Structure 1
Amino acid sequence: MIIDCDTGVDDALALLFAVRHPGLELRAVTCVAGNTDVDGVVRNTLTVLDQAGAPDIPVARGAERPLIEPARPARHVHGQDGMGDLGLPAPARRPVDVDAVTLLRREILGSPRPVTLIPTAPLTNIALLLRTHPEVTRNIERIVFMGGTAGTGNATPVAEFNVWHDPEAAAVLLTAGVSITMYGLDVFTRVVVPGADVQRLRASTEAGARLAGELLAHRPAGPDPDGDDPSGGLGDAGAVCAVADPAGLGTRRLPVEVALAPGPTRGQTIVDRRPRPGEAEIHGGIREQTLVDVGLDVDVDRYVRLYLNTVEG
């Protein structure tokens, strides 16, 4: 698999899991602007891999802004450095000397087995890859992306941050012609690590497990993060759990499109859950929509146990 990320607190949780799960082979990590600027994303990604004791995994710098709009970082969520302002050391490793799209093409086409691509970020790099090198789809088994929602958004009332940050790129993703799973806010917010487990991780003497605890503590799931139960949301890491253990994610194959027009619905993932066509289709024809496996249910306990067992070893 390959992760495309905007590291970010919960992207970091995803990376920690990915490098420690014995059934996952992380071939590369590509970085894009999102939670913080792209240079900060590269730095954060390299730091996490250091802390996790990861092997020499290639990391590449990608797009520094969306296809059309300016970058709009989420530092109010992830801290000024994008990693919860935890004061982590500068990374010892360095990124490769090629850009993200070049690395993605090389690693996908060079893999002896089809690759699962896991974007946990705005989809700018993925859109550029698909438009520049469409031949990569012949060796992509599935794209499991963290993004979108069938219900309430977080960036706007109807749009999730990763899709809202670059809606055009998300629309390009839906033309990929490969199997797509949407791990959206409908399941994203539900996978929560209990406070006792977070505290145990924070007290660990092993660097990677301790970092997971500090990151989870920065992502409080309850209204009182300093209270008796400082539980933390796994966020993006749940998408990687869904690759490692697909049976824990309940999906429905549904038509999905992205709203691109200016205004309050821009960036919305329109998930058609109706049992039959409506008047708009009857009178105006059927719009071309992509069928996506949309995550609507998740076995929370299963993924929490999976994450903790993997990160703690």
Structure 2
Amino acid sequence: MPTPIIIDCDPGHDDAIAILLALAHPEQLDLRGITTVGGNQILDKITDNALKVLSFVNADIPVAKGAEGPLFGKLVTGAEAHGESGMDGPLLPASKFRPVQQGAVEFMLDIIRSSEEKITLVPMAPLTNIALLITAYPEIKERIEQISLMGGGIAYGNVTSTAEFNIYVDPEAARIVFESGIPITMSGLDVTNRAAIYDEEIAQLKERGPVSNMVGELLDFYSIYGKKMGYSGSALHDPCAVAWLLHPELFQSRELYVTVETEGKLTRGMTVADQRTNPAAPANVKVLVDVDREAFLRLIFDALAKLDGELLPSTGGN
């Protein structure tokens, strides 16, 4: 039986790839819905991006708009990396879908309450929606199987020397989630920077079908910022949170106690991991620290090839 999931996202180039990875594996992942939150760009733009990706592959998955910004303060976007639209690169057709009327919190609540199985949450954005859900309805935590999130890092940050973007945008929300007691697997920078794709591999994508080519165009743009920051490859951050659900054997992990710094002048948004031999608190997070990059990329390429085949009229679909 496939694992029922809700993806919470802010597309975002790597968010789009993560959504496609999930859609390509319906036998393992039952994508019940997608929620959006202000992050890589403002809410309206990233919601439209999510709908365009779904439209491109004819996937009628309900999408609910969530929080426009963090619990406190103003939204900091990732426009420098993701562009004016939040997903610059390919010129995708206008979406044929629209978001549902419900807000993200009520949407998630209804899915979780009505499901016979516990739901797995897959946030790959600031954790505002998830924090609002479990704060307003704390009893719902018992109906959440686990959280597989992209965010944080126990060694370094990217927005600052200590903070990763998703956590930095709303550290108060992140702290609520990390201290919720829900089982968490964290795909932070420690692993996602190892899950990189390089120019020659991006070029191979663009020699394949329509979905692969679209992703190649996404990565062409996304790689510009990485090179500006000194990286030779483009880290596929968000797909790690989905890939771990599909093939956990591809990853190495550590069980650690992790919380989030919300006040420090130099460390606000830092995911603080107690790595001592005798930690002060029991582990609450499975922290992914390494990945078999070649096997991970094969998983991505195979997923896109599957979606390519489903879009080719000559194949008659699957």
* Alignment TM-score, normalising by the size of structure 1: 0.90
Q: For residues 264 and 287 of structure 2, what CA distance do their matches in structure 1 show?
A: 25
Q: Please give the secondary structure, in 1, of the residue aligned with 2:267.
A: coil
Identify which of 278, 283, 295 aligns with 1:302.
295
Q: For residues 226 and 128 of structure 2, what CA distance do their matches in structure 1 show?
A: 33
**Alpha-carbon spacing, 1:65–1:298, altered in 2? closer, same or farther (3 Å):** same
Q: Please give the secondary structure, in 2, of the residue aligned with 1:260.
A: coil
Question: Residue 266 of structure 1 aligns with which residue?
Answer: 268
Question: Residue 19 of structure 2 aligns with which residue?
Answer: 15
1:186 aligns with 2:190: yes
Read off the aligned partner of 2:294 and give its amino acid letter.
D
Contact 1:175 1:290 in 2 (8 A): no
Deviation at 1:289, TM superposition (A): 6.8
Question: Residue 239 of structure 2 aligns with which residue?
Answer: 237
Deviation at 1:133, TM superposition (A): 1.4
Identify which of 304, 307, 314 aligns with 1:311.
304
Q: What percent identity do the matched residue pairs reach?
A: 40
Q: For residues 225 and 73 of structure 2, what CA distance do their matches in structure 1 show?
A: 33
Give the RMSD, CA atoms, in angstroms. Answer: 1.9
1:32 aligns with 2:34: no
Q: Please give the secondary structure, in 2, of the residue aligned with 1:149.
A: coil
Q: Please give the secondary structure, in 2, of the residue aligned with 1:159.
A: coil
Moved more, 118-127 or 188-197: 188-197
Deviation at 1:231, TM superposition (A): 5.1
1:48 aligns with 2:53: yes
Contact 2:104 2:129 in 1 (8 A): yes
1:248 aligns with 2:250: yes
Per-residue Cα deviation, 1:38-57 (whole angstroms, up to 9, x for no partner): 01111000001111221x21
Q: For residues 262 and 231 of structure 1, what CA distance do their matches in structure 2 show?
A: 31
Q: For residues 162 and 67 of structure 2, what CA distance do their matches in structure 1 show?
A: 25
Q: Please give the secondary structure, in 2, of the residue aligned with 1:178.
A: coil
* Unaligned segments of structure 1, at least 5 residues: 278-285
Contact 1:32 1:38 in 2 (8 A): yes
Q: How does 1:176-215 map to 2 (within 5 A)?
A: 176-206=180-210, 208-215=211-218
State the number of aligned residues: 298
Moved more, 71-80 or 294-303: 294-303
* Unaligned segments of structure 2, at least 5 residues: 307-318
Contact 1:17 1:311 in 2 (8 A): yes
Per-residue Cα deviation, 1:259-292 (whole angstroms, up to 9, x for no partner): 1114111110111111135xxxxxxxx5x67621
Q: For residues 262 and 226 of structure 2, what CA distance do their matches in structure 1 show?
A: 33
* Alignment TM-score, normalising by the size of structure 2: 0.89
